[in-house]
Structure formats: structure tokens, C-alpha cells
Chains A and B, each alone.
Chain A
Amino acid sequence: MTKALVSAFALLAATPALAERGADGDLKVLYWQAAAVLNPYLSTGAKDIDAASMVIEPLALVANDGSLIPQLAAEIPTLENGGIAADFSHVIWKLKPDVLWSDGSPFTAEDVKFTADYCRAPDFGCAVLAEFDGIDSVEVLDPLSVKINFSYPKFVPLQAFVGGRTPILQKAQFEGCTGAAGASCSDQNFAPIGTGPFRVTNFVPGDVAQFEANPNYRDPQKPAFATVTIKGGGDAMSAARAVLETGEYDFAWNLQLDPETVKRMEAAGKGAVYASFGTMVERIELNQSNPSSSLPSEERSSAAHPHPFLTDPAVRRALSMAIDRPLMTELTYGPAGSPTCTITPVPAAYVSEDVTCLTQDIEGAKAVLEEAGWIAGADGIREKDGVRLEILFQTTVNAVRQDVQAMVKQWWSEIGVATELKTVEGSSFFGGDPGNPDSLARFMADAQMYTDAYYLPDPASFLDEFTCASIPSPESQWQGSNSLRFCDAAFDQQMAQMHQTSDPAERQRIAREMADIVAIEGHYMLPLIHRGMVSARANSLAGTVPNGWEGSLWNVADWSRAE
């Protein structure tokens, strides 16, 4: 946060008081994964949403501290200003007056209503449909206010149209693209008309997107850049090189690189990296079901067969104690990560105070295992009743993750646990194909490491992933978010209570307790590192502000050329 403030001040200092639109020329941005489409409702990843955020805007954005910044909304609806109904049955958004689309037509509540209907249309396959969950209907009250009715009291009412994943589309442009027709409207999907600081001039899917300043943007002095090019392709290392070493580009996105190399590149003096901390926590999940290959294949990793030793709390605790999280973070993520014990790392109100896991305790871990009856055999591997502590540990192919794997294997071997490492190609690991034995939901291993993110400060929908009902099973075609097969009545009860609670402080308390049940107390999941999204920017670029909740280009309207 302080960092954000510092760079915000730096920006104020660097920008001339009276900037002129388009005065700073061309901005060159490098995304090593290229955008495939500029319509977030059809997108499958952050690369598309970021590029689209140059053009189309939501009603409000989430700021780095978790508060909301009005964007197309005149103000953020609250209980006090009457925007949010006292019974949480609806929310009324007031829109900014005199906002124009880049084609010169006025932006109205009709566009908001249209966008909601567009995403909720059957046969469309909207990628962010979950954000519109619970919406019964959207009404236009007058051209500048829109009312969203919920079918049940929704205690997190500001969800749809908050954040860059659900921006407003222009009704006039997308009218013919609803439902099944939506998929093939490539002209619209490649060049949406927006209210944002830029408009699309050229888009080549998977390669490059070019923009120019929107002449109708509501702030006449912005954006400072006349044109923007977002080039895609390559890999993180070469992207960093193009900004930090050769200076060919001004900005590069998502650079998960080893800290030493980055530091050397920064020494060239052309640019610097900074990290935005969102909700990503690199974590190890310990399988509560038995993945043994001696079981019939359809019963492997099904909840019917509990894991032979990871169901023992002592083993899970020892595995957690053996890991030196600070050292691991320093070696692999450097300034782009910080060691953590929780799975809900931001905002601060949701973070549990218990940080004992940050201290590695090999001897303690050994003692915990001894006490629980796990005794080292002849080869140093602990066993009890003929069960040996042998772990198959899988993750995706990624140089940094492989280093983490090697370190964890070493530490676990020091407490008498043997580890076999396995890597799976990313799209196979994250894919939902039920026939694929390597997917994260199928979980045919004892431990697995990955990260996922959620996009609203309230973690209810994230914690919902770990209820008993979400356990993947043969009946559900192995679909389900609770891949670690954790099932605890107390947790489910808390979840139900959270869904009934409207008081923010109370929700925060419940969320903290739930996160603790899974991680800090239960050690079902071993949180390792709170990961930031690392970007590189040239020294000649001013105005970049880290924001863990939004895409890297979230405030591109404020970017300018430093003197």
C-alpha cells in the first residue's frame, strides 16, 4: 500500500500540471501471451481482459486496498446513500452524466441493462456468468440510473459490473450478437466500441492490438499517449529483456522470473519491475482421498477411500513445519512474493494473525511424527503399521515451481518423508476433461501445488470451493472445485452462516475462521507464498500504479511519458 502511495506521488510529481491528450506519442506494451479476443465475456484468460480494459470500462473498479473506485458510476451504491436496498434485494447504480461512447453516441442505462442480458442469455456461454449470479432482472429507471433486482438477499451486492472482467458493452453495437449468434460476431468482438481512454485501430488475434486515444473520452486531458501497441508472443524472459535491457518496449506483463536475473537486468538502468499483490497464493494441497494405483481406476482419489496417512493431522502438520517459507520465497519469487500462512491474503481484514508457520522447525516436525507413532525405517523413511510416508508431488511445468518442488522434496526428506516429483503440462493440469488422469480435479497424486485467484475482496465464493458438496467424484464426472477432498462439518456450517450474514465485520470474522480451519489449524492446504503479478516498466513511463485486483493496464488513462 505504501508502495502504491509512493508511486502515486511519483506520478503526480512527474506529470506536467496541464497535460494535453495525445501529447506523449506512442506507448509500447508487451504481453507474452497475446490477446485472442477483446470481449471479456468470451475470453478465457487475463491476457484478453487486460487488453480490453483499454477500451471498455465497468461501473466501478476495485482499488488495491479493496475499496471501490467509481468508473462509469457517479458514486458507489451503499446502504447509506440508498443505492443498496436495506434488505439486500436490489441495488441501484447512478451513472456519470455526459459520458460518450467513442463513436460519439451517449452512454446510458440501456447499455448496462443490455450487457447484463447479453451475458445472461442462454446458449451464449458467458465466461463471467458467475458474476451475474442471483440477478433476477435489470431495470432502467431513467437514462442515468439502473436497478439490479436479486432473486434472493445478496449480501455481496456489488459484483456484476465491478472490475474489469465485467465491463459495459455498447447496446447499439452488440444488439445483433446475443445468444448463440454472439460467438461469431468477430467484428464486434475484435473492436468493441467503448467509453475508455482508447479505441481499437487494429487487432490481430494472438499477435498484436493497436489503439489510439479516444477523442470522446470524458477527461479532455487524458490519455497522454496518442497511440498504444500491445504486442504479444514470446516468453516472460524475453519480455523482461525488451523492457529492462534493450528498452524497445515501455511495459511488460506477468514476469515470473528468478529474482537474481531481474536484479541484474534492472542494473542496466532502463527500467524497473514492480509487483501487484492480489489474491494469488501458491499452495500445496494434501489429498484426503487415496490415489493408490492398486485401487480400481474409477475409485482412485474418490472420497470413498480415505488417504492412508494424509488424513493424520500430525503428518500434515509435520509436512507444513518442515517448509522454510521465507527462504523459499527469497530464492524463487524474490520481491514478487511474500511468505504466507493463509489462503486469503488480502485485504488485511481477512488475514489471520497466526504466522507461526513462517518459522521452519525440522526438529519439531520430527518430534510431531515420532509422537504420532511414525518411526523411521532402515532407509530413513518413516512408517507406521506398514504404511510408508511416500508422497507423489505434482505441479505444472514451470521453472520456478520445479525449484520449489526440489526444495520441498529436500526438506521433507529431512523429516523422513520420501517424495517423488511429477510435472504436468499446464493446459492438461487445469483442464476439466474427466478422462484425463493428470488434471488437478482428478488429483491422482498425494500432493499438488498451484495457485488460483478470486476477484472480489469478499472471499465467500472462493471459500465455497472447499465445501463437502464440491468434492469431485465419479458421479460428478470429476468436476468440482474441492480438489483436495476436504470435508469438515464445522467448515460447511460456517459457510452456511456466512451466506446468511450481512454485517461486513462478522463476515470477515467467519472468513478468517474458515481459512484457518483449512490452512493454519488443519494443514489440509499448505499456503506457501503470496504471489504478486510482476510487471516491468521503463523509467521513461510514469503513472503505473500496482493493483492486485485489476489487470495491469487498469489505470492506463493516467500513464504518461516521464520527463
Chain B
Amino acid sequence: MLNFTIRRLLLAVPTLLFISLVIFLLLEISPGDPLGDVPLTVPPEVKEKMREALGLGQAWYIRYALWLKQFFWIEPLHWFDQVFGTGYAEGAQRIISFQSRSPVFDVIAQRLPQTLIVVGMSYVIAVLIAIPIGIISAYRQYSWIDQLGTFVSMIGFSMPTFFTGVVMIIVFGVKLQWFPSVYDTTLQVRDWDSFLAQVRQMVMPVTVLALFNAAQISRFMRASMLDNLGQDYVRTARAKGLSERTVVLKHVLRNSLIPVVTVIALGLPTVFGGALITEQVFKINGIGQLLITAIYANDIPMVLTVTFLFAILIVVFTLIADILYGVLDPRIRYD
């Protein structure tokens, strides 16, 4: 397994380089213009000069090579300087956003906390709810709890967050006035009151996202449990006189986790990627909102960097999932 992990990690480098090239080219050819928001009265010559100031005058491969250098050399160097107080990256150009003309990584660092807190929290809650519901639903198939679970999760999944979010705002924000409809990113948790305020502003977005994610995970959990509950080894285990609890929670659950692990491994990178619509609806301004505004503004350095970080997480988490398969089912081997 260690061998496999090392091999995969080595293979990840060319894969990621290739992914970055594809993303870059995709952004290059797709229609859209970083100066799309500039008033139409601005004459073409001025726009041409602005374009050159953004570095867009150069050929694409030069800009790509520059980005690679900045991402893999200057940014780590800058980070090193920050930590150890050295000056190696002095004067070197970092990756600069077209929109704000500030270093891309600074902006990402500003956005990360709210995304990790809100989206991350919702994902944790979703997993904590979905797995028990999936297990009970499968174990008591077609009982009222299963039917209710199915109904809620299907509604939860088929109702888009732009709808559920607004419904929550109207009911709990406008009518009942329990929770604020606008997320305040400047709020700092210092004491009990500010902690409560933070909780209050997280309730609605976390609920909306958790409902959506839990629906998906619980469905996969249930289906996989059902598959395994009918297997011969379950009958054997029961015949051996093992308690129902041991049979279900130890044998069946462990064997049913593979698809759930896959789904969660695919879902965790999106915690970093943020939730585009939910962040928009509640004005959370995390990574999701950053990415979407950058895409609309054709802020190529920003989009490229954020999606590339996302790609790294995807590669890492699929690797983790693959390793977990081997842990859950020792028969799976990659060597």
C-alpha cells in the first residue's frame, strides 16, 4: 500500500501539470473578456492599453509559463519569507488578480475561513445525519422512517438551493426575524454574544447545504446497506449467534461504506470550493463567490489558481479514497 501511495503521488505531479494546462487553455479560448465590465464609452485604444497592463499582450505559453513559475516557485518562497522573516521573494511578482490587482493568495486566504466554517460545518452535519438515516432506512426497509427519509431526501435533493435558501430567508429572516439574512464576514468571535451571533448567522446556510448533501449521502448509504443485508455472510454471522448490533454495525456497515466513502471523498474538495449558490444567496462571500465573480470577470489568474488548488484537493482525496477502499475491504489491492 505504501508503494502504491508513493507511485500515485509521483504520478500526481504530471497529472496536475496537465490539468493546469487544460484549465489554462480552457480559460484562454472560452469567450469573455477581462474588460467586459469597462464602460462602453471607453475607446478601443484605451482598452488595448489596459489589456497590455494586465499582461495580456504576451503569447499564451509565456503567460502560462509565468504562472507556473509564480505558483510553484515565487508563492512558496513568499510563504517561506513570511514564516521565517527572510527576503528571498523580495521584488518578485506574485500571482496578481485582474480585478483587485492584489495577490491572488491573499484574497483566497481572506475567503477561506467563512467557506470552511459554513460549508465544512454543513458537510460534517450532513454526514452525521445521513449515515444513521441510511442505516436505519435500509435496516427497516419500507418502514415509516424509511418512507419519511426517502421523501425528505428526495425533496431535499430536487429542490435547488436557490429556492430553499430564499424560502428560509423569507420565513426565518423576514417573517419571524430569527436569523439575519446577510452573513457578516467581519464578525469576530470574541465572547459569548459574538459567538451566538456567529451561530445565528450560520444556521440558515448550514441547514440548506446540509439538507442537500445529506439527501445524497443517505441515499447511497441506504442502497449499499440493502445490497449487503441480503448477502450470505450476514446470514452466517447471524447463525453464529452474533448480536444484531454487531452484525449490522460491524459487518454490514463496513462492507457498505465503499460507495459512501467515494461520495464523501468527492464531496470534501467542494468544501474548499465553496457552494456557489448558497454563498450567493446568503452573501457569505467565500471561495465559491470568489470563483464565480472571477469567472464572470474573466479574472484568469484567479480562476486558474482557485481551480488548480481545487484540482490538487481532488487528486489527494481520490487517493485517500483509494487507500480507504483497501482498508475497508482487504481483498482490494492495487499492487
Give the Cβ gap from A398 to chain B, nearest Cβ, in Å.
13
Query: Contact between B298 and A427 (Cβ–Cβ < 8 Å)?
Result: yes
Give the Cβ gap from A380 to chain B, nearest Cβ, in Å.
36
Given A232-B285, A233-B280, A438-B31, residue A241 in contact with residue B169 (CB < 8 A): yes
Q: Which of A54-62, A142-150, A178-186, A409-417 contacts B (4 or more CB under 8 A)?
A: A178-186
Given A123-B53, A208-B186, residue A238 in contact with residue B37 (CB < 8 A): no
CA distance A34 to B101 in the complex (A): 15
8 A-B pairs with the lowest CB-CB distances in the bound complex, closest first: A125-B53, A431-B33, A436-B31, A186-B102, A205-B100, A431-B36, A452-B40, A233-B283
CA distance A437 to B30 in the complex (A): 11
CA distance A502 to B281 in the complex (A): 52
Interface centre among B182, B280, B285 (most CB of A within 10 A): B182
Query: Contact between A431 and B293 (Cβ–Cβ < 8 Å)?
Result: no
**Interface flag for B230 (CB, 8 Å):** no
Residues of A within 8 A of B38 (CB): 44-45, 127
Identify A432's interface contact among B44, B110, B177, B296, CB under 8 A. B44
CA distance A123 to B33 in the complex (A): 19
Query: Contact between B102 and A189 (Cβ–Cβ < 8 Å)?
Result: yes
CA distance A204 to B99 in the complex (A): 13
Q: Mark B12-39, 1 if CB is under 8 A from A, else 0.
A: 0000000000000000010111111111
Q: Chain B: how many interface residues by the 8 Å CB criterion?
A: 59
Given A454-B41, A461-B41, residue A206 in contact with residue B281 (CB < 8 A): no
**Interface flag for A524 (CB, 8 Å):** no
Q: Which of A6-14, A242-250, A325-333 contacts B (4 or more CB under 8 A)?
A: A242-250
Give the Cβ gap from B60 to chain A, nearest Cβ, in Å.
13
Q: Mark B258-296, 1 if CB is under 8 A from A, else 0.
A: 000000000000000000000111111100011001001
Query: Contact between A249 and B182 (Cβ–Cβ < 8 Å)?
Result: yes
CA distance A6 to B243 in the complex (A): 81
Give the Cβ gap from B271 to chain A, nearest Cβ, in Å.
19
**Interface flag for B51 (CB, 8 Å):** yes
**Interface flag for A269 (CB, 8 Å):** no
Query: Contact between B33 and A433 (Cβ–Cβ < 8 Å)?
Result: yes
**Interface flag for B119 (CB, 8 Å):** no
Name A35-72 residues within 8 Å CB distance of B. 36-37, 42, 44-45
Interface centre among A30, A127, A129, A428 (most CB of B within 10 A): A127
- In the assembled complex, 7 residue pairs joining A and B whose CB atoms fall closer than 8 Å, in A order, are A30-B182, A125-B52, A183-B54, A185-B101, A231-B283, A233-B283, A453-B41
Q: Is the interface of B mostly helix, strand, loop or mixed?
A: loop
Q: Mark A472-495, 1 if CB is under 8 A from B, else 0.
A: 000010011100000000000000
Residues of B within 8 A of A207 (CB): 110-111, 185, 285
**Interface flag for B42 (CB, 8 Å):** yes
CA distance A476 to B43 in the complex (A): 13
Given A123-B53, A248-B182, A431-B32, residue A44 in contact with residue B102 (CB < 8 A): no
**Interface flag for B154 (CB, 8 Å):** no
13 more contacts with CB within 8 A, not counting A37-B101, A204-B110, are: A36-B99, A122-B49, A124-B53, A125-B49, A125-B51, A130-B46, A184-B101, A206-B289, A234-B282, A241-B173, A248-B180, A427-B298, A452-B40
Identify B31's interface contact among A126, A205, A428, A452, CB under 8 A. A428
Name A424-464 residues within 8 Å CB distance of B. 425-433, 435-439, 452-455, 461-462
Identify B43's interface contact among A34, A36, A130, A185, CB under 8 A. A130
**Interface flag for B297 (CB, 8 Å):** yes
Query: Contact between A481 and B40 (Cβ–Cβ < 8 Å)?
Result: yes
Give the Cβ gap from B1 to chain A, nearest Cβ, in Å.
43
**Interface flag for A190 (CB, 8 Å):** yes
Given A210-B186, A241-B181, residue A127 in contact with residue B42 (CB < 8 A): yes
**Interface flag for A202 (CB, 8 Å):** yes
Identify B99's interface contact among A37, A129, A234, A429, CB under 8 A. A37
CA distance A126 to B48 in the complex (A): 11
Residues of A within 8 A of B93 (CB): 184
CA distance A452 to B36 in the complex (A): 13
Query: Contact between A231 and B182 (Cβ–Cβ < 8 Å)?
Result: yes
CA distance A438 to B30 in the complex (A): 12
**Interface flag for A465 (CB, 8 Å):** yes
Q: Mark A19-38, 1 if CB is under 8 A from B, else 0.
A: 00000000000100010110
**Interface flag for A175 (CB, 8 Å):** no
Q: Chain A: how many interface residues by the 8 Å CB criterion?
A: 69
Residues of B within 8 A of A128 (CB): 42
Query: Contact between B102 and A233 (Cβ–Cβ < 8 Å)?
Result: no
**Interface flag for B47 (CB, 8 Å):** yes
Interface centre among B100, B177, B181 (most CB of A within 10 A): B100
Closest-by-CB residue of B relative to A44 is B37
Query: Contact between A436 and B32 (Cβ–Cβ < 8 Å)?
Result: yes
**Interface flag for A229 (CB, 8 Å):** yes
Given A127-B42, A130-B46, residue A206 in contact with residue B100 (CB < 8 A): yes
Total A-B pairs, Cβ < 8 A: 194
**Interface flag for B204 (CB, 8 Å):** no
**Interface flag for B189 (CB, 8 Å):** no
Residues of B within 8 A of A462 (CB): 41
Identify A246's interface contact among B41, B46, B166, B173, CB under 8 A. B173
Given A37-B99, A438-B31, A479-B44, residue A208 in contact with residue B285 (CB < 8 A): yes
**Interface flag for A235 (CB, 8 Å):** yes
Give the Cβ gap from B319 to chain A, nearest Cβ, in Å.
32
Give the Cβ gap from A444 to chain B, nearest Cβ, in Å.
12
Query: Contact between A427 and B33 (Cβ–Cβ < 8 Å)?
Result: yes
Closest-by-CB residue of B relative to A132 is B46
CA distance A44 to B289 in the complex (A): 18
Residues of A within 8 A of B47 (CB): 432, 479
Residues of B within 8 A of A438 (CB): 31
Give the Cβ gap from B117 to chain A, nearest Cβ, in Å.
15
Name A164-197 residues within 8 Å CB distance of B. 180, 182-186, 189-190
Residues of A within 8 A of B102 (CB): 37, 186, 189-190, 205
CA distance A332 to B331 in the complex (A): 65
Identify A234's interface contact among B32, B101, B281, B297, CB under 8 A. B281
Query: Contact between A34 and B31 (Cβ–Cβ < 8 Å)?
Result: no
Query: Contact between A127 and B50 (Cβ–Cβ < 8 Å)?
Result: yes
Closest-by-CB residue of A relative to B41 is A454
Query: Contact between A183 and B293 (Cβ–Cβ < 8 Å)?
Result: no
Query: Contact between B31 and A432 (Cβ–Cβ < 8 Å)?
Result: no
Query: Contact between B41 and A130 (Cβ–Cβ < 8 Å)?
Result: yes
Identify B296's interface contact among A180, A426, A439, A461, CB under 8 A. A426
Residues of B within 8 A of A426 (CB): 36, 296
Query: Contact between A206 and B186 (Cβ–Cβ < 8 Å)?
Result: no
Give the Cβ gap from B63 to chain A, nearest Cβ, in Å.
15
**Interface flag for B124 (CB, 8 Å):** no
Closest-by-CB residue of A relative to B99 is A36
**Interface flag for B174 (CB, 8 Å):** yes
**Interface flag for B253 (CB, 8 Å):** no
Closest-by-CB residue of A relative to B31 is A436
Given A125-B54, A426-B296, residue A229 in contact with residue B186 (CB < 8 A): yes
CA distance A294 to B289 in the complex (A): 41
Residues of A within 8 A of B106 (CB): 186
CA distance A422 to B173 in the complex (A): 36
Given A129-B46, A205-B99, residue A44 in contact with residue B41 (CB < 8 A): no
CA distance A242 to B181 in the complex (A): 7
Residues of A within 8 A of B280 (CB): 233-235
